[in-house]
Structure 1
């Protein structure tokens, strides 16, 4: 007999909820400060100060490589930049996509695996930005981590389609659509170098999910032996 107390809607994974609350909570502080509702006159500069202190900078990254020095206050930027956004709208879009992708991925992956995908996507995005982007040194926002979850979703969908004998290429429709939108916006409103960090996050999330998905290790070993 079916349990009448079971919700027809799968709840959000707690780790996704926690990430969402962290992102939007920080953004709420910045927005309240910008409108003079918290922190007094100095609060207007909270966002700019946070970007300088916690955002990822290609210039800082290259300085570390050139000098062989990796102080904690700069190494943490590989993760902390994901929780600082340029505008409220920026944070809102990240939050909405995080909830959507986190719910889908959370139906298959464990809590720790979801967090791992987000972290790996975030770090991969920073590395790609630091290595290849010079003209736009600052990188902020959670999109690379979210694109990591999109990569995880794409892999899980790919496996499902292939197992049913369908065309696995259909799984890449979402990332193709999102990249096409970024291209159009870039052509209309000017180039935005953050697309590279997003794409790096996607591929990193896709790759790590091959291992993190249930049965991933066994599937990977079998594939390698077959090849």
Structure 2
């Protein structure tokens, strides 16, 4: 695992990291099961309602955190939702978009960081996004999808790009263009169309990934200090 100022550009030429392919196959595999169930291929008892059953059983309900605090029930069947919600999507289209974005960001990040680090970026950021979402919007309903974890990867990539631009004495603010655009789109969509606050989970995931990258990149803290001193 190494890093130099040209790493973000060079990462696009590297092969797909195995850990990224493994996670992609898990996300795509779950969606494939839902698709097959919806057309009756899996047999009796497996239909379109199977997706909704899975979301209810393994998705993240925003009331869960407050309920666990009130009842002091932190059983594994509840905590596992902080992981499993990332593999469930509302539709084939949502899953396809998530898979495409995951592969793109996973390749960039996985070319620099180790496999365990990539897993931490995805799962820790997803769990953090879910926790923050539940605390800020406890009545928002269900949270599911790979996007909070993907935003964690975006956070890691943003840190790499930010450090790279700082080292080249280029405008470092450009590193945050992607997250600003994505969150901006979500804000507009949430305010005028869906009325939901999913951007909270995604932004928390991004911040989680950005922070983790400081700790997981060799010399990351020193690079952060050096970058700040250049201001």
Q: TM-score of the superposition, structure 2-length normalised?
A: 0.88
Q: Distance in 2 between matches of 1:48 and 1:156?
A: 38
1:49-198 equivalence runs, <5 A: 49-198=53-202
How far did 1:46 drift?
Answer: 1.2
Runs of 4+ in 1 over 3 A off after TM superposition: 217-224
Whole-angstrom CA distance in 2 between matches of 1:203 and 1:102: 17
Query: Alignment partner of 1:136: what SS?
Result: coil
Verify the 8 A CA contact 1:79 1:123 in the aligned structure 2. Answer: yes
The farther-off stretch of 126-135 and 72-81 is: 126-135
Aligned position for 2:209 = 205
Tell me, which stretches of 5 or more residues in structure 1 are unaligned?
1-7
Is the 1:211–1:220 contact (alpha carbons within 8 Å) kept by the matching residues of 2? no
1:27 matched to 2:31? The reply is yes
TM-score (structure 1 length as normaliser): 0.90
CA contact (8 A) 1:33 1:40 kept: no
Q: Deviations over 1:9-38 (max 9, x none)?
A: 421111110110000100000111112222
Contact 2:163 2:224 in 1 (8 A): no
SS in 2 for 1:37: coil
Secondary structure of the residue aligned to 2:35 is helix
CA distance in 2, matches of 1:187, 1:222: 39
Distance 1:10 1:112 in 2: 18
Q: Secondary structure at the match of 1:91?
A: helix
Cα deviation for residue 218 of structure 1 reads: 4.5
Residues 188-208 of structure 1 deviation map (CA, whole Å, 9 limit, x = unaligned): 423222111000000000011
Structure 2 equivalent of residue 3 of structure 1: none
- Find the residue that maps to 2:74 and give its secondary structure: coil
RMSD over aligned CA atoms reads: 2.0
